[in-house]
Amino acid sequence: MVEVLLFSASSFLVGLSGALVPGPMLTVTISNSLHKGPMAGPMVVSGHIIAEVAILMLLLLGLGWLIGSATATLLIGTVGGLVLVYMGYRISQSSPPRFQGKVKAPDKYGSVLGGILSSISNPYFFIWWVTIGWAFVLKGLEFAGLAGILGFMAGHWAADLGFYSLVSFFTSKGSDILTQKYYRALMYGCGIFMICLGIYFVFSAQIGSL
């Protein structure tokens, strides 16, 4: 039991170090939080967890070789990058909720779906899982079986949920004092970041396939 708890704690720290790195999921959390309030963060993480459960099942079924293949890397990098460019454009064009007759989200896919898309469209999401994530899963299986996997996932998800909930809370509170000018600047910056990240993923995938 103690070993599982310590394993969960180490998984939490590793997951937190990954969550702190700016990426598509952070941008989606910020943009959604400004429109939907502090619950946007947990909802985005819920979508992220759905994507992680799916890839974990694939790994457990022995399809890790397929996910990490050159063809999959090219496809994920290209399609994922294009999706990020589109999401970035939509975010950059979103209007401040306080200046609209009816509040609406900066996108049409919702926070949960946003969490899924921002995860699976990020090539590094798959790279992390077929390397670091899979190594943790195997280690958990080695010394505790199913309890080890559950301990790893609990620590990993606690890190994501804790960090993105804080981001969502403080971002939503900031929306009460953001002027239209600063709101648009923030959303434009988030959108440009997402677009640049998407373009980088596309070019990286093409170069890697040569």
| Higher pLDDT, residue 148 or 47 | 47
pLDDT over 50 (residue 140): yes
Residue 18 confidence (pLDDT): 72
195 neighbors 84 (Cβ within 8 angstroms): yes
Confidence of residue 160 (pLDDT cuts 50, 70, 90): very high
Instruction: Give the best-scoring range by mean pLDDT among 81-95, 118-132, 169-183.
Output: 118-132
**Strand, coil or helix: what is 189?**
helix
DSSP conformation letters of 94-124: PPPGGGSSS---SSSSHHHHHHHHHHHT-HH
Mean pLDDT of 6-16: 83
Categorise residue 145: left if φ over 0, alpha if ψ from -120 to 50, beta otherwise: left
Element containing residue 93 per DSSP (H, E): none
Render pLDDT for 185-207 as a digit per residue (tens, 0 to 9): 777 887 888 788 888 878 887 77
| 34 contacts 171 by C-beta, under 8 angstroms | yes
Structural domain count of the chain: 1
Q: In which domain, by residue range, is 112 found?
A: 2-208
Q: Which of the pair, 3 or 38, is modelled with greater confidence?
A: 38
